Amino acid sequence: MSTASNLFDPVHYAGARRPLPDATSLPPAAYYDPAFYQREIDMFFMKEWNFVGHAGRLKENGSWFTIDFAGVPVIVVRGEDGVVRAFANSCRHRGIRLVNGEGKTRAFVCPYHSWTYENHGGMRGAPGMEGVNCFDKADNGLIPVRLEQIGPFMWINFDPAAPSLDATMGDLKTRIASYSLDDLVLTRRKEYKVKCNWKVYIENFMDYYHTPTVHRNSLALGSVSAYHRKPVELEHCDGRYLVLYGKHEGTAGLLPGAKGFPFLPDLEGRSLEGSNFFYTSTCGLFGFTKDCVWYVKINPTGPDSIDLTVGSCFHKDIVARPDFEQVVQAYYERWNVAVAEDNVIVEEQQAGVRSPLCRPGRVSPMEAISYAFRKHLIDALKL
Ligand code: FES
Ligand SMILES: [Fe+2]
């Protein structure tokens, strides 16, 4: 396919829409073409709920961090009232990005002309604006961005008309209710810059087809568990998410043979017998296993690059144990090793898919979730 003129011709996406046994992956250009990425920004990232992490990152009133999500600068801040909110990180005067990184403050002071905003977004003052007609501080607070939570996990939405997060995610909340969401403490965040398209990472995370190969010396060391070789059941999800469930002994949070913590206290049903891996719109990934929860936050930074954050969450009673810091290192090691292995393979995929000789590939029944993800995306992009 030539990419310039006919990139959005639905004929290129018909293969991804076929029933799974007949399906192909997306055209390679979907993974690098700037015009395709711009369509994703306009029709997906600017319209749907974007996962931005765990509220435990904002420990105190006034704690804030910034994220440039798909190129849109945003501040996420816990106000003096304890409420977490998001705002456009653009000054109301001449639009400059107000802050970078993270910190704690009662007020954001613009580095350009010192307009000042409270940490709940309202304008505190605008020196030099005395005598300007009809200038009202009440009209010049930071522009709000919708932020809603499921337990401690936060999503933002740039579209004021979008349905609520709850309505969008449907029964996701019910599926994860027994993981003691409100008691999950964020104990570590680890950041990576990865040179791949955001979809490459999602497709990787949501298949265990690659586990016996990519993770043969780590997660799959010694034995390939039965679920690594079974066709994936594509479950009906009542919301903008997909689930990959795997039944297994022990936890998915440790390398084989490592010792860990007791299981979460209130787990119910099949969550007691295995792990749930979730993709949530637009690009949030989660591992819910028996003794911990982790997330992979993807921030697309261009057609072929992402900022990746891996967050680790444990029950507050586990975190309070005197041996927590010692035992948790085995979990951190599991994430360090597996994420490093995935990061190598996704960058190699990006390099290969960028070739003009690359073609859409056929799809294994073990890739049912990635297959469903691609259909979900091309529906959103009207392709
Ligand atoms: S751009 Fe912020 S005060 Fe001028
Ligand atoms: Fe992996």
Nearest ligand to the C-alpha atom of residue 114: 1
Q: Tell me, in angstroms, the distance from the centre of ligand 2 to residue 252's CA.
A: 12
Residue nearest to ligand 1 atom 1, measured at CA = 94
Q: Which of 208, 211, 206, 224 is nearest to 374 (CA)?
A: 206
Edge-to-edge strands, sheet with 184-194: 184-194, 305-315, 293-302, 284-288, 274-280, 241-247
Q: For ligand 1, say whether the CB of 113 is within 6 Å of any of its atoms.
A: yes
Q: Tell me, in angstroms, the distance from the centre of ligand 2 to residue 60's CA.
A: 34
Say yes or no: 297 and 363 in one domain: yes
Residue from 112, 123, 135, 142 whose mutation best tests the ligand 1 pocket (most atoms within 8 A of CB):
112
Structural contact between residues 268 and 178, judged by C-beta atoms closer than 8 angstroms: yes
Say yes or no: 299 and 274 in one domain: yes
Helical spans, DSSP H, in the chain: 14-17, 34-40, 165-169, 172-176, 198-205, 211-214, 316-319, 324-353, 368-380
Give the domain CATH number at 65.
2.102.10.10
Say yes or no: 121 and 260 in one domain: no
CB neighbours of 294 closer than 8 A, spacing ≥ 6? 253, 286, 287, 310, 311, 312, 313, 335
Give the domain CATH number at 29.
3.90.380.10
* Rounded Cα gap, residues 209 and 228, in angstroms: 6
Residue nearest to ligand 1 atom 3, measured at CA = 113
Looking at the DSSP bridge assignments, the partners of residue 245 are 276
| 278 assigned to some structural domain | yes
Q: For ligand 1, say whether the CB of 110 is within 6 Å of any of its atoms.
A: yes
Helix (H/G/I), strand (E/B), else coil: 77: strand
Q: Which of 302, 342, 319 is nearest to 31 (CA)?
A: 302
Dihedral sign, Cα of residue 262, residue 154, residue 65, residue 35: positive
Q: Tell me, in angstroms, the distance from the centre of ligand 2 to residue 311's CA.
A: 16
**Cα 153–158–161 angle (5° rounding)?**
105
Residue from 89, 93, 142 whose mutation best tests the ligand 1 pocket (most atoms within 8 A of CB):
93
| 289 assigned to some structural domain | yes
Q: Which of 161, 189, 209 is the last residue of a domain?
A: 161
| 171 assigned to some structural domain | no
State if pTM tops 0.85: yes
Say yes or no: 328 and 214 in one domain: yes
Q: Which of 161, 196, 221 is the last residue of a domain?
A: 161
* Cis peptide bond prior to 282, omega within 30° of 0: yes
Q: Which of 95, 126, 161 is the last residue of a domain?
A: 161
Say yes or no: 55 and 120 in one domain: yes
φ/ψ region of 170 (left if φ > 0, alpha if ψ in -120 to 50, else beta) reads left
| Cβ-count burial 327-347 (b if 16+ within 10 Å, e if not) | bbebbeebbeebbebbbebbe
Q: Which domain holds residue 94?
A: 50-161
Burial class (CB in 10 A: 0-12, 13-18, 19+), 116: middle
Residue nearest to ligand 1 atom 4, measured at CA = 113
Q: For ligand 1, say whether the CB of 94 is within 6 Å of any of its atoms.
A: yes
Task: Tell me the pLDDT of the chain (383 aa) as tens digits.
Answer: 545 569 999 999 999 999 999 999 999 999 999 999 999 999 999 999 999 999 999 999 999 999 999 999 999 999 999 999 999 999 999 999 999 999 999 999 999 999 999 999 999 999 999 999 999 999 999 999 999 999 999 999 999 999 999 999 999 999 999 999 999 999 999 999 999 999 999 999 998 899 989 999 999 887 656 556 778 889 999 999 999 999 889 999 999 999 999 999 999 999 999 999 999 999 999 999 999 999 999 999 999 999 999 999 999 999 999 999 999 999 999 999 999 999 999 999 999 999 999 999 999 999 999 999 999 999 999 99
> What does the DSSP assignment read for 248-274?
-SS-SSS-TT---PPPPTT--GGGGTE
